[in-house]
């Protein structure tokens, strides 16, 4: 058995973070692998212990090896927040992160050497523990179970998440599989952090409303189009502001 653990601190109340993780739609939408699976149905008693939900896998690529969308969600969400903040304040000149990191590109270059294996077209997950504000655990129902556990701890900063994933050695697809899965988990937790922290401040709440209402429902390719459109508009706005300031300075001397 292989185990991967990851900690992250979030500046948000434990209730907000817990609710985000337990919400299936939101949890999937914030994953770097969003777009590779589709939620089919959820049992009426979810998220109670013993409840379940099913998803349909939309690709035959194994978990962690869908390089095309590896960093797109994190980069798109981070970039969108930055672009919307720029438009609302007309002062922030930060730009979005590159959608595909150097590590991901290196993995893509060596992907031809990775052994392939098929995933089942449908997957069913069962909730094993639901302890409000403290713990949420579920597993993928296969011959060799993949068990995922989220632990939540209230800290002075806000909330600490302790993520743990346990899976069989048979599920490892190659030498790059473990590092890739670690990267996916890190980006997933980072997305949850950025999303949960949007509750701080009225401007951020507006951005979160936009994410919930429209952006998170889009496919990764659609998100990139929206991000690029906002980015170009931000460049236009910055250019206009620079020209306006330049004209104002020039008018003082001529």
pLDDT, tens only, 137-174: 999 988 788 999 999 999 999 999 999 999 887 777 67
The values of phi and psi at residue 76, to 5°, are -70, -45
Q: Read off the DSSP letter of residue 132.
A: T
* Confidence (pLDDT) at 132: 95
Domain boundaries, the chain: 2-253
pLDDT band at residue 21, thresholds of 50, 70 and 90?
A: very high
- State how far the alpha carbon of 165 is from the alpha carbons of 5, 65, 176, 244, in Å: 6, 17, 17, 53
Main-chain dihedrals φ then ψ at residue 186, nearest 5 degrees: -60, -45
Q: Are 65 and 114 in contact (CB under 8 A)?
A: yes
Global pTM exceeds 0.85: no
| Tens-place pLDDT, residues 63-82 | 433 333 344 444 445 555 55
CA angle 215, 219, 225 (to 5 degrees): 70
Q: Which residues pair with 4 in a beta bridge?
A: 165
In this predicted structure, what is the pLDDT of residue 139?
Answer: 94
Helix (H, G, I), strand (E, B), or coil: what is residue 39? strand
The least confident of 4-18, 30-44, 120-134, 197-211 is 197-211
The listed CATH number (1.10.1060.10, 3.30.530.20, 3.40.50.980, 1.10.3720.10) that belongs to domain 2-253: 3.30.530.20
Q: Based on the number of CB atoms within 10 Å of its own CB, is 160 exposed (0-12), middle (13-18) or buried (19 or more)? A: middle
Nearest Cα to 64, choosing from 120, 97, 104, 96? 104
What's the pLDDT at 251?
A: 60
At 254 the three-state DSSP class reads coil
Per-residue pLDDT band for 125 (boundaries 50, 70, 90) equals very high
Per-residue pLDDT at 225 exceeds 60: yes
Calpha distance 104→101 (Å, rounded): 5
Q: How confident is the model at residue 195 (pLDDT cuts 50, 70, 90)?
A: very high
């Amino acid at each position: 058995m292989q185990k991967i653990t990851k900690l992250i601190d979030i500046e948000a109340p434990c209730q907000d973070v817990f609710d985000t993780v337990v919400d299936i739609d939101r949890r999937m939408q914030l994953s770097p692998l969003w777009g590779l699976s589709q939620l089919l149905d959820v049992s009426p008693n979810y998220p109670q212990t013993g409840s379940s939900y099913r998803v349909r896998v939309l690709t035959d690529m194994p978990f962690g090896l869908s390089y095309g969308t590896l960093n797109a969600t994190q980069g798109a969400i981070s970039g969108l927040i930055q672009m919307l903040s720029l438009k609302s304040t007309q002062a922030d000149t930060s730009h979005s992160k590159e959608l595909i990191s150097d590590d991901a590109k290196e993995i893509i270059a060596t992907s031809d050497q990775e052994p392939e294996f098929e995933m089942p077209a449908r997957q069913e997950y069962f909730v094993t523990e639901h302890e409000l504000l403290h713990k949420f655990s579920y597993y993928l129902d296969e011959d060799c179970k993949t068990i995922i556990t989220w632990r939540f701890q209230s800290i002075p900063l806000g909330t600490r998440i302790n993520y743990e994933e346990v899976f069989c050695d048979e599920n490892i697809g190659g030498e790059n599989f473990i590092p890739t899965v670690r990267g996916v988990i890190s980006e997933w937790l980072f997305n949850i952090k950025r999303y949960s922290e949007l509750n701080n401040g009225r401007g951020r709440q507006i951005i979160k409303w936009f994410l919930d209402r429209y952006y998170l429902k889009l496919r990764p390719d659609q998100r990139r189009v929206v991000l690029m459109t906002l980015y170009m508009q931000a460049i236009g706005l910055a250019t206009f502001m620079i020209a306006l300031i330049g004209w104002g300075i020039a008018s003082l001397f001529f």
